[in-house]
């Protein structure tokens, strides 16, 4: 299974989860039983406007997020899903891609309470691997060039494992029809596990929680 196929499967999974969430919401409205983890759970004020008191209040109601990122643990471009286990703790799963390489990452995220602009930290694992026999552009990755020699990259057969630590800040939309939109930026430290090489980098992204 190549990386494009894996990425397509993840996109399908995210869409399926969204559809399931909408179905759960309708069942709940129709008296279909207890609320599930995937139920769309919104909070409204007296005027019928969706409104949350803080970032943790929003994530207490909205359990699932999906979005894209540029840079960081996923590489040049990443597709991520975020599951809020509770208001403060989340699990982030992502697939990424870059010039002829792919990546997979699994991260724990800790949210700190605030309002529109809130800090957070992440800790976890990321694996980068060659995804094509065409190696002409692999060397354009600054991160991989710090881990592998030019000969290794040209061979087209490489993979590496990173421990990921990051600190970031995110803007949370807490009211109105765009509630759940989240923009973020983070500083990321990738530590290559075998060689203990430390590579600093960064990421920006957007996530929508529903």
Segment 100-122 mean pLDDT: 95
124 vs 20, more confident: 124
Asked if 42 and 61 count as a contact pair (C-beta separation under 8 A), the reply is yes
Distance between CA atoms of 206 and 187, rounded to whole angstroms?
15
pLDDT digits (tens, 9 = 90+) for 159-204: 999 999 999 999 999 999 999 999 999 999 999 999 999 999 999 9
HSE of 81, CA atoms in CB hemisphere, 13 A: 18
How much is the pLDDT for 26?
46
Q: Percent of the chain beyond pLDDT 70?
A: 77
Q: Percent of the chain beyond pLDDT 90?
A: 61
Asked if 66 and 207 count as a contact pair (C-beta separation under 8 A), the reply is yes
Asked if 101 and 141 count as a contact pair (C-beta separation under 8 A), the reply is yes
How much is the pLDDT for 83?
96
Q: How confident is the model at residue 99 (pLDDT cuts 50, 70, 90)?
A: confident
How much is the pLDDT for 108?
98
The whole model's pTM is what?
A: 0.79
Distance between CA atoms of 98 and 135, rounded to whole angstroms?
12
Architecture of domain 41-209: Beta Barrel (2.40)
Residue 103 scores a pLDDT above 50: yes
Using the structure block, give the residue that is written with the tokens 């990755």.
141
How many Cβ atoms sit within 10 Å of the Cβ of residue 146? Answer: 15
Residue 48 scores a pLDDT above 90: no
How far is residue 182 from each of residues 63, 94, 98, 169, 190, measured CA to CA in Å? Answer: 13, 16, 24, 10, 24
Indicate the average pLDDT of the chain: 84
Q: How confident is the model at residue 23 (pLDDT cuts 50, 70, 90)?
A: very low
Residues 6+ apart with CB under 8 A from 21: 38, 39, 40, 64, 210
pLDDT digits (tens, 9 = 90+) for 63-92: 999 999 999 999 999 999 999 999 999 999
Q: How confident is the model at residue 29 (pLDDT cuts 50, 70, 90)?
A: very low
How much is the pLDDT for 203?
98
């Amino acid at each position: 299974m190549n990386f494009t196929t894996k990425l397509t499967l993840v996109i399908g999974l995210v869409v399926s989860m969204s559809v399931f969430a909408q179905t759960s919401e309708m069942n709940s409205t129709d008296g279909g039983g207890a609320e599930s983890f995937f139920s769309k759970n919104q909070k409204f004020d007296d005027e019928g406007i969706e409104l949350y008191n803080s970032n943790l209040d929003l994530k207490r109601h909205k359990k699932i997020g999906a979005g894209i990122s540029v840079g960081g643990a996923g590489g040049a471009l990443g597709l991520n899903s975020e599951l809020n286990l509770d208001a403060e703790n989340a699990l982030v799963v992502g697939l990424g891609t870059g010039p002829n390489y792919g990546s997979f990452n699994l991260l724990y995220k800790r949210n700190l309470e605030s309002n529109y602009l809130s800090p957070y930290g992440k800790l976890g694992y990321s694996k980068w691997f060659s995804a094509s026999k065409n190696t002409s552009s692999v060397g354009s990755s600054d991160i991989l060039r710090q881990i592998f020699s030019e000969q290794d990259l040209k061979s087209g057969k490489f993979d590496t494992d990173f421990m990921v630590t990051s600190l970031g800040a995110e803007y949370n939309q807490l009211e109105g029809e765009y509630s759940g939109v989240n923009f973020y930026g983070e500083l990321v430290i990738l530590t290559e596990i075998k060689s203990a090489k430390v590579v600093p980098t960064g990421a920006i992204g957007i996530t929508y929680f529903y």
